[in-house]
Amino acid sequence: MGPFETDRLRLRKFRADEFETIFRIIYSDPGVYAMYSSVGGDFAAAQERFMQAVYQPNNSEFGRLGVELKEEQILIGQVHLDPHVWTAPDFVVNGSAPFGAIEVELAFAFGKEYWGFGYAYEACTRMVQYAFEELRLPRLVGGAMLENERSVNLHERLGYRLVRNPDQRDVVGWITILDNPGLAKS
Protein backbone atom coordinates (compact mmCIF):
# COMPACT_ATOMS: atom_id res chain seq x y z
CA MET A 1 0.00 0.00 0.00
CA GLY A 2 1.24 3.42 -0.90
CA PRO A 3 3.05 5.64 -1.09
CA PHE A 4 0.39 8.18 -2.00
CA GLU A 5 0.52 11.93 -2.43
CA THR A 6 -1.99 14.73 -2.16
CA ASP A 7 -1.48 18.44 -2.75
CA ARG A 8 0.19 18.94 0.63
CA LEU A 9 0.85 15.46 2.01
CA ARG A 10 2.82 12.29 1.43
CA LEU A 11 1.37 9.05 2.83
CA ARG A 12 4.16 6.54 3.10
CA LYS A 13 5.54 3.60 5.01
CA PHE A 14 6.99 4.38 8.39
CA ARG A 15 10.68 4.10 9.17
CA ALA A 16 11.69 2.38 12.41
CA ASP A 17 13.43 5.54 13.62
CA GLU A 18 10.14 7.48 13.61
CA PHE A 19 8.60 5.81 16.65
CA GLU A 20 9.63 8.50 19.11
CA THR A 21 8.04 11.18 16.93
CA ILE A 22 4.78 9.24 16.65
CA PHE A 23 4.83 8.48 20.37
CA ARG A 24 5.34 12.16 21.16
CA ILE A 25 2.61 13.52 18.89
CA ILE A 26 0.02 10.75 19.29
CA TYR A 27 0.63 8.16 22.00
CA SER A 28 1.91 10.45 24.78
CA ASP A 29 -0.77 13.13 24.42
CA PRO A 30 -3.96 12.11 26.28
CA GLY A 31 -5.93 14.61 24.19
CA VAL A 32 -5.04 12.55 21.12
CA TYR A 33 -4.71 8.94 22.26
CA ALA A 34 -7.81 8.99 24.47
CA MET A 35 -9.85 9.29 21.28
CA TYR A 36 -7.80 6.82 19.27
CA SER A 37 -5.80 4.12 20.99
CA SER A 38 -5.94 1.64 23.81
CA VAL A 39 -2.13 1.70 24.14
CA GLY A 40 -1.74 5.45 24.59
CA GLY A 41 0.72 6.42 27.28
CA ASP A 42 2.23 2.91 27.32
CA PHE A 43 5.61 3.27 25.59
CA ALA A 44 6.29 -0.49 25.22
CA ALA A 45 2.81 -1.38 23.92
CA ALA A 46 2.76 1.56 21.51
CA GLN A 47 6.24 0.66 20.28
CA GLU A 48 5.21 -2.95 19.65
CA ARG A 49 2.17 -1.84 17.63
CA PHE A 50 4.28 0.68 15.72
CA MET A 51 6.98 -1.85 14.86
CA GLN A 52 4.33 -4.21 13.48
CA ALA A 53 3.29 -1.39 11.16
CA VAL A 54 6.88 -0.67 10.13
CA TYR A 55 7.54 -4.27 9.18
CA GLN A 56 4.36 -4.95 7.22
CA PRO A 57 4.91 -6.67 3.87
CA ASN A 58 5.76 -4.30 1.02
CA ASN A 59 2.93 -5.63 -1.12
CA SER A 60 0.28 -5.45 1.61
CA GLU A 61 -3.04 -3.97 0.55
CA PHE A 62 -3.74 -2.90 4.13
CA GLY A 63 -1.73 -1.39 6.93
CA ARG A 64 -0.56 1.86 8.45
CA LEU A 65 1.06 4.81 6.71
CA GLY A 66 2.83 7.82 8.10
CA VAL A 67 1.48 11.18 6.99
CA GLU A 68 4.05 13.88 6.38
CA LEU A 69 3.93 17.42 5.10
CA LYS A 70 5.49 17.16 1.64
CA GLU A 71 7.42 20.40 1.55
CA GLU A 72 8.63 20.37 5.15
CA GLN A 73 9.07 16.58 5.35
CA ILE A 74 7.60 16.62 8.86
CA LEU A 75 5.70 13.59 10.18
CA ILE A 76 2.32 14.80 11.46
CA GLY A 77 0.21 11.65 11.93
CA GLN A 78 -0.90 8.32 10.58
CA VAL A 79 -3.73 6.73 8.61
CA HIS A 80 -4.50 3.07 8.20
CA LEU A 81 -6.77 0.51 6.64
CA ASP A 82 -7.29 -2.42 8.99
CA PRO A 83 -9.41 -5.52 8.35
CA HIS A 84 -11.48 -6.51 11.42
CA VAL A 85 -14.16 -9.00 12.30
CA TRP A 86 -16.80 -6.79 13.86
CA THR A 87 -18.48 -8.55 16.74
CA ALA A 88 -21.79 -6.81 17.30
CA PRO A 89 -23.92 -9.62 15.82
CA ASP A 90 -27.25 -7.90 16.35
CA PHE A 91 -26.13 -4.69 14.65
CA VAL A 92 -27.76 -4.28 11.24
CA VAL A 93 -26.10 -1.97 8.71
CA ASN A 94 -27.59 -2.98 5.37
CA GLY A 95 -31.14 -4.17 5.60
CA SER A 96 -30.75 -7.68 6.94
CA ALA A 97 -26.95 -7.95 6.84
CA PRO A 98 -25.62 -8.64 10.33
CA PHE A 99 -22.57 -6.68 11.42
CA GLY A 100 -20.30 -9.68 12.03
CA ALA A 101 -18.41 -10.05 8.77
CA ILE A 102 -14.90 -8.94 7.96
CA GLU A 103 -14.92 -5.18 7.47
CA VAL A 104 -12.13 -2.75 6.67
CA GLU A 105 -11.73 0.21 8.98
CA LEU A 106 -10.19 3.51 7.98
CA ALA A 107 -8.56 4.99 11.08
CA PHE A 108 -6.45 8.07 11.62
CA ALA A 109 -4.62 10.08 14.25
CA PHE A 110 -2.75 13.35 13.95
CA GLY A 111 -0.68 15.35 16.39
CA LYS A 112 -2.80 18.01 18.08
CA GLU A 113 -0.66 20.83 16.69
CA TYR A 114 -1.78 19.73 13.19
CA TRP A 115 -5.52 19.78 13.89
CA GLY A 116 -7.69 22.31 12.10
CA PHE A 117 -5.72 22.52 8.86
CA GLY A 118 -7.64 19.90 6.84
CA TYR A 119 -4.76 17.40 6.88
CA ALA A 120 -6.88 14.52 8.22
CA TYR A 121 -9.55 15.15 5.60
CA GLU A 122 -6.95 15.32 2.82
CA ALA A 123 -5.22 12.10 3.92
CA CYS A 124 -8.45 10.20 4.54
CA THR A 125 -9.91 11.30 1.20
CA ARG A 126 -6.88 9.76 -0.52
CA MET A 127 -7.26 6.55 1.50
CA VAL A 128 -10.97 6.32 0.59
CA GLN A 129 -10.03 6.77 -3.07
CA TYR A 130 -7.48 3.95 -2.79
CA ALA A 131 -9.91 1.66 -0.95
CA PHE A 132 -12.75 2.17 -3.40
CA GLU A 133 -11.01 2.65 -6.75
CA GLU A 134 -7.99 0.37 -6.41
CA LEU A 135 -9.07 -2.26 -3.89
CA ARG A 136 -12.74 -2.03 -4.93
CA LEU A 137 -13.90 -2.54 -1.36
CA PRO A 138 -17.69 -2.43 -1.00
CA ARG A 139 -17.49 -0.16 2.04
CA LEU A 140 -15.36 1.18 4.83
CA VAL A 141 -16.31 1.26 8.47
CA GLY A 142 -15.00 3.15 11.44
CA GLY A 143 -15.78 4.19 14.91
CA ALA A 144 -15.89 7.40 16.87
CA MET A 145 -16.37 8.16 20.52
CA LEU A 146 -19.48 10.20 21.27
CA GLU A 147 -17.44 13.10 22.64
CA ASN A 148 -14.96 13.15 19.73
CA GLU A 149 -16.71 15.82 17.70
CA ARG A 150 -13.73 16.30 15.38
CA SER A 151 -13.76 12.63 14.35
CA VAL A 152 -17.54 12.58 13.99
CA ASN A 153 -17.41 15.72 11.82
CA LEU A 154 -14.61 14.29 9.68
CA HIS A 155 -16.52 11.05 9.11
CA GLU A 156 -19.60 13.03 8.09
CA ARG A 157 -17.56 15.27 5.78
CA LEU A 158 -16.12 12.15 4.10
CA GLY A 159 -19.69 10.92 3.49
CA TYR A 160 -19.96 8.27 6.21
CA ARG A 161 -23.33 7.39 7.72
CA LEU A 162 -23.28 7.47 11.50
CA VAL A 163 -25.17 4.78 13.36
CA ARG A 164 -25.37 4.70 17.14
CA ASN A 165 -23.52 1.69 18.54
CA PRO A 166 -26.13 -0.59 20.17
CA ASP A 167 -23.54 -2.07 22.55
CA GLN A 168 -23.55 0.59 25.25
CA ARG A 169 -20.66 -1.13 27.04
CA ASP A 170 -18.42 -0.24 24.13
CA VAL A 171 -16.47 3.01 24.33
CA VAL A 172 -17.17 3.59 20.62
CA GLY A 173 -20.49 5.41 20.54
CA TRP A 174 -20.80 5.80 16.77
CA ILE A 175 -20.26 3.19 14.09
CA THR A 176 -19.47 4.90 10.81
CA ILE A 177 -20.19 3.36 7.42
CA LEU A 178 -19.15 4.58 3.99
CA ASP A 179 -20.50 2.63 1.02
CA ASN A 180 -18.56 2.55 -2.24
CA PRO A 181 -20.69 4.52 -4.72
CA GLY A 182 -18.80 2.93 -7.63
CA LEU A 183 -20.14 -0.55 -6.92
CA ALA A 184 -23.64 -1.43 -8.01
CA LYS A 185 -25.97 -2.48 -5.21
CA SER A 186 -27.21 -6.01 -5.59
Position 31 scores a pLDDT of: 75
The residue ranges of every structural domain in the chain are 4-179
In whole angstroms, what is the distance from residue 154 CA to residue 7 CA?
19
Are the C-beta atoms of 78 and 66 separated by less than 8 Å? Answer: yes
When computed from its CA atoms, the radius of gyration of the chain, rounded to whole angstroms, is: 16
pLDDT tens-digit profile of 79-112? Answer: 999 887 766 544 445 544 445 567 888 999 999 9
Which run of H or of E encompasses 68?
Answer: strand 63-69
In whole angstroms, what is the distance from residue 23 CA to residue 6 CA?
24
Position 46 scores a pLDDT of: 78
**Cβ neighbourhood burial of 85 (10 Å; 0-12, 13-18, 19+):** exposed
Say whether pLDDT at 51 is over 60. yes
Average pLDDT, the chain: 82
Position 36 scores a pLDDT of: 67
User: β-strand 102-110 against 174-179: which pairing, if any?
Assistant: unpaired
Residue 139: count of CB within 10 angstroms of its CB? 17
The CATH H-level superfamily of 4-179 is: Gcn5-related N-acetyltransferase (GNAT) (3.40.630.30)
Are the C-beta atoms of 112 and 120 separated by less than 8 Å? Answer: no
In whole angstroms, what is the distance from residue 90 CA to residue 175 CA?
13
Which among 168, 175, 180, 106 is positioned nearest to 138, based on CA atoms? Answer: 180
Share of the chain above pLDDT 90, in %: 35
pTM, two decimal places: 0.84
Say whether pLDDT at 60 is over 80. no
